[in-house]
Amino acid sequence: MEINSIHNAFINALLADATYVDGLVEGGIPVSGAALVTKLQNRLTPDLAKYFSSHFDVIQQYLTDDLSQSGFDVTVFRSKADGQVFVSTRGTEGLADFAADGDLTLNGLARAQVVDMVNWWLRARTPAGVACPQIKVGPTSLGSVGIGATAPAVGDGTLSAVTSVVVNGHSLGGHLATAFGRIFGDSLPILHVYTYNSATFNPLSGFSFDQIEAALGMGVSAFPNGGVQTNFYATHGPDLTTQNITLGQIGLRIGLFNEESLDVLTVPNHFMFKLTDALALGDFLATLDPQFDLGKLSAMYEAASSNRNDALEGAIDSVATILRGVDPDVPIGDAGDSPPSRVAFHAALATLRADFEGLAGKIHIESSGLNLASKARADFGSLVSLLSLGPISLSGTNAANQASLENVLKSSWGNVYTSWQSDRSMSKERRDGGAAIFTDGYLSARSEMLVWLQAYNNRNLSYEKRLTSLGGILPIPIQGDFIYQDVSRGISLDIDGVNPGTLTSHYVRFGGEANDFLSGGALSDRLFGGGGADQLNGGDGDDYLEGGAAFDSLYGEKGNDTLLGGQGGDWLEGGVGADELKGGEGIDTYRFGTGWGHDVVEDSDGQGVLSVVGFESGLPQGKKVAEGRYRSANEKVIYSLTRISDSRIDLTISFSDRRDEITVRNWTSGSFGLTFDEVPVAPVSTQVGNTHTSPNDQLAGASDSDSLVGLSGNDALSGLAGDDVLEGGDGSDVLAGGAGADVLNGGAGDDYIFGSSDAAGAHWSETATSWVTIDGTVWRIPGVGPAVSSDQGNVIDAGEGNDWVAAGTASDVVRADAGNDLVYGMGGNDYVDGGDGADELHGDSVNTAPNNYNTTMPEQNGDDVLVGGAGNDTLIGEGGSDELYGGDDDDDIEGDAASDLVPASIHGNDYLDGGSGNDRLWGEGGDDDLFGGSGDDTLTGDAVSTALDGADHGNDYLDGEEGDDLLFGNGGDDTLFGGADDDQLVGDTAADAPNFQLESEYHGDDYLDGEDGQDTLIGAGGADTLYGGDGDDELIGDDDASRLAGEWHGDDYLNGEDGDDLL
């Protein structure tokens, strides 16, 4: 065991504390067993006295009177485990001790007590009946007071058989222990000297030691060096005794955390019990984790409470909560001996020692941090620390020990463990859909609060005050101000972000098991109800609301909100804005009031109810008007079905009397009580082309619902107002739907399709060889006007050929079909399927110039679904939270676009899936999910700094899946999984060119897992967590200094896991 291990520090502190107790030898017989416990318990508490009695025996105690003698007191103990002998010298207690303190201050040595110590030791070491030298304090030949020889004494031999000693002492006792080490260091092995808040020496000390050496006829002595003596001192609060102004503190000085007393005179900061108690809990933790050292112990205490006066109680409450699942709530106290608070502390500690001895040597203990969010999904100990907001987290040192720990925690946490196991086995899609108890959003927010809580605690800052960068670098470089609250614990943390001058805060609030009311504010907030029947009101801004267990009422109010009901039947009402409503488990009600915008509903169990204002008796059924398109009998509701994949169909619900829409993800027939009649509705009028000599037809509808059929030839069809059906047929056709909910089928040929534009046939000629007029680099079709804003959403099938499509200003469904097509979804929430061919698909359009065919203003950008299909496709989601699926072949997929084309403020949280082939994916702004699929893919969570400012980078999730992939998280706190094969994962940026490098302050705390294959992982800036996975991996915590300055290198955790890894 290391000399300066916590255990050695603790047992020597305990001995230095116990030596203050008188009467440990009675009638020449050392006290033992229950009698020893009785003697010690008033100073050490009953449980600490029991620990002492079970580990140590008293050999000898030598006491001198505090009035008539020097006051020197010493006790000799023996370890029951290995027989090691300890000499423990007592510190200041009686009047004579204060005189000794004065002597050492003035003359550099407590001479009277040192003389008594020397004489006692010489008598005890000398065999019985044999003379031994003695010394005394008295006048010298020069008339001063000094130390000289006196008449010999007869040895008693009580310690003559001792072969080595460890010496310890507190305060004045530390001064004496140091003197003992100097004087007797050459006469027998002194294995080590441990001192605690030791009194010092000064330049005059040498004169007295010279006199002792001369009186005993010994050689020149020297103080123990740092390898022989450890000099522990309390780090908090002034302590004159342990000051080192005169450089008289001997040995290796190590600061120990102590609870800082509030006493004006600060004398209690010097007391021994403070160090004994701090080391006692540390000793228990070091039995669990032998690598747990004094530095980690002090860090734990600093992070355990914002008030150093109750840090020990906060720490033991946290440890007990982690292991037991119940907070013992040890009462706060600041007194030695055995007051109720200290008795309770050591009683709780004794119970921990007894109950969890089976975990000894099996545990790895680390400080809690942001990485717990990513670890908690697979490590229950990390989740427990998040739930309890504990300063440390526990994990097993290997798979077997992890299983042992989980068995203990399973027993303690019961239903929480069961829920965690259930969440762990779920797919990410199911968790995101509301089936999980502990969602990714909850874990992320909880880890943030834990980091901020530790920042308060480490700065000893009251929770009532605001945390600013004036006290040091903020642990998370956040933009804006935040208030983190745990309602059940009564903790509120007010964080002043890096941007100055803001007065409004984001709220991150956690409820408890009670029925809580949580509200947001004017900005984007995150509210977590927890247990109980909660009400959550988001307020303004783009909010995230999570109900948790039981029946909860969630109101997004203003902004683009995400509402997650969780367990139990919940009420979800998004309010104004583009909201995402996920009911989770149970019979959930989704309420849509006046002017809700476009909301997305995901009802994971199919039991939900849609409640729409104006349809109090329920939504009407629909009758087919086109493939995948249905309309109610009163023509007030339009239903559009779009196939996203072989296993997924979405339903979009739009209305004739309002521009609001509802999209139901993963629709199944009969969900929400809706069924559709497949018999189509007949149109009001029908026009069929090829009735003229030329096959190039010009057909225009009226204000009714028309059917225009071009048949062969290059036809021009204009539906105008009404819900029209336009069939281009063969040839290169022009189709303009105009206002209304239109069905436009281009047919074979290279067609131009305008979902929302009107067209005037006066500009067309049947004899024209092309409808298109080219003017330099600009093309136009005479007669076709700009898109009208009153469109109601179109269903478009471009057909075979290389088609150009401007879908329209509302929410449209586009099937581009075979050919190399160019499609702009434009405004609304669009579904675009490229089909076969090398297609370019835009969810919206970056063209903001007025009166163009695809003009789309930023505020019109929607949440789109783009499916590339076969071919080398380019998919660009642009604004909003989009879903992009590359499909087969080599695709380029962008969640948004460069901020000079699409403002960063409307970048959304996008989902990108490359599919098969060697794909390139860019999430850009927002918190994006990127999946490479099969093939050698390149995934970039955000974009280079020239295209997107680092402040706008999000917290992204990247999974390379199969193939040799290259993953770049870029800014924010990203999660990267390499998947199968040989991957390279970079948490932030690896650009060599300075203008492409991400600003250092935007590097995040990333989680990287190489998984299978020979992977290379580079964390770059921030406090990153790197797991190599299987294979021979290379893990690099930071990055080259040429790309990232050293001050931005973080505290990283690297674990190579299986294989021959390089860290």
Q: Which of 748, 740, 756, 759 is nearest to 797 (CA)?
A: 748
The torsion region of residue 639 among left (phi > 0), alpha (psi -120 to 50) and beta comes to beta
Label residues 567-594 b or e (16+ Cβ within 10 Å = b). Answer: bbbbbbbbbbbbbbbbbbbbebbbbbee
833 forms beta bridges with 815, 867
- CB neighbours (10 Å) of residue 146? 21
Closest by CA to 890, choosing from 938, 848, 846, is 938
Q: Please tell me the distance from the alpha carbon of residue 327 to that of residue 344, in angstroms, as a whole number.
A: 13
pLDDT for 329 beyond 50: yes
Whether 172 contacts 97, CB under 8 Å:
yes
Q: What are the DSSP calls for 114-144, one per residue?
A: HHHHHHHHHHHHSPTT-EEEEEEEEE-TTSS
- Residues of the chain with pLDDT > 90: what percent? 62
pLDDT for 694 equals 52
Q: Residue 177 — pLDDT band, cuts 50, 70, 90?
A: very high
pLDDT of residue 487: 96
Neighbours of 220 (CB within 10 A): 8
Helix extents (H) in 718-785: none
Please state, rounded to an integer, the average pLDDT across all residues of the chain.
Answer: 89
End-to-end, the C-alpha distance of the chain in Å comes to 27
3-state secondary structure of 364: strand
State the pLDDT confidence band at 17, using cuts at 50, 70 and 90.
Answer: very high
Longest dimension (CA), the chain: 143
What local confidence, expressed as pLDDT, does residue 766 receive? 60
Q: Provide the angle, in degrees to the nearest 10, between the axes of the packed helices 272-288 and 340-355.
A: 20
Residue 357 exposure: Cα atoms within 13 Å on the Cβ side = 5
Question: What does each C-alpha distance from 358 to 177, 245, 404, 912 come to in angstroms?
Answer: 37, 47, 9, 47
Q: Is the pLDDT of residue 640 over 90?
A: no
Place of tokens 């020893």: 36
Q: Please report the pLDDT score of residue 549 as a whole number.
A: 87
- pLDDT per position as a tens digit, 759-789: 875 556 665 667 777 777 778 888 788 888 8
State pLDDT tens for residues 668-709: 988 998 989 876 655 555 555 554 445 676 777 666 677 888
**What's the pLDDT tens digit per position in 511-547?**
999 999 999 999 999 999 999 999 999 999 999 999 9
The whole-number pLDDT of residue 349 equals 97
Query: What's the rounded Cα separation, in Å, for the pair 203 and 210?
Result: 12
Q: Is a pLDDT exceeding 90 seen at residue 190?
A: yes
pLDDT of residue 994: 62
How many angstroms from the chain centroid is the CA of residue 345?
31
Instruction: Please write the tens of the pLDDT for every residue from 486-496.
Output: 999 999 999 98
431-452 CB burial, b ≥16 within 10 A, e <16: bbbbbbbbbbbbbbbbbbbbbb
Which is nearest to 568 in space by CA: 546, 538, 592, 548?
548
Q: Say whether pLDDT at 823 is over 90.
A: yes
**Amino acid 588: pLDDT:** 95
pLDDT band at 646 (very low <50, low <70, confident <90, very high): confident
Question: 764: which DSSP letter?
Answer: -
Q: Extract the tokens encoding 58.
A: 């008293």
Residue 634 has pLDDT above 60, yes or no: yes
pLDDT in tens, 974-1026: 899 999 999 999 988 756 656 667 777 788 888 899 988 999 998 887 778 88
Structure tokens of 386? 């998040």
Length of the chain equals 1063
Read off the amino acid at residue 453.
L
pLDDT at residue 654 tops 90: no
Which residues, at least 6 apart from 295, have a Cβ–Cβ distance to it below 8 Å?
none
What average pLDDT does range 588-615 have in this prediction?
92
Per-residue DSSP letters for 807-856?
--SS--EEE--SS--EEE--SS--EEE--SS--EEESS-S--STT-TT--
| Residue 768 or residue 837, greater confidence | 837
Number of separate helices (H) and strands (E) present in the chain: 17, 69
CB 814 within 8 A of CB 798: yes
**HEC string of 307-349?**
CHHHHHHHHHHHHHHHHHCCCCCCCCCCCCCCCHHHHHHHHHH
Q: Is 109 exposed, middle or buried (0-12, 13-18, 19+ CB in 10 A)?
A: buried
Q: Model confidence over 446-490: pLDDT tens digits?
A: 999 999 999 999 998 999 998 886 656 677 767 788 999 999 999
Q: Residue 152: enclosing H or E segment and its boundaries?
A: strand 145-154
Q: Which two tokens stand for residue 302?
A: 């600093």
DSSP per-residue letters across 625-680: EETTEEE-TTS-EEEEEEEEETTEEEEEEEETTEEEEEEETT--TTGGG--EE-SP
Q: What is the pLDDT of residue 693?
A: 44
Rounded to two decimals, what is the model's pTM?
0.75
Q: pLDDT tens digit string along 62-73?
A: 999 999 999 999
Q: Across 100-104, 608-612, 941-945, which has the greatest mean pLDDT?
A: 608-612
**pLDDT reported for residue 46:** 98
pLDDT in the model for residue 290? 96
CA distances from 659 to 129, 251, 266, 623 (A): 110, 79, 70, 21
Other C-beta atoms closer than 10 Å to the C-beta of 203 total 10
State the Cα–Cα distance between residues 363 and 373, nearest whole angstrom: 20
Query: Which amino acid belongs to residue 290?
Result: P
- Backbone φ and ψ for 99, nearest 5 degrees, come out as -65, -40
Cα 995 versus chain centre, distance: 30
Q: Give the whole-angstrom CA distance, residue 491 versus residue 507.
A: 13
Query: What confidence score (pLDDT) does residue 768 get?
Result: 60
Q: How far apart are CA 560 and CA 555, in angstroms?
A: 12
What single string gives the DSSP state of each residue in 789-801?
TT----EEE--SS
pLDDT band at 87 (very low <50, low <70, confident <90, very high): very high
Q: Is 352 within 8 Å of 328 (Cβ atoms)?
A: no
Contact partners, residue 79, CB within 8 Å, separation at least 6 = 11, 55, 56, 85, 86
Q: What confidence score (pLDDT) does residue 795 get?
A: 86
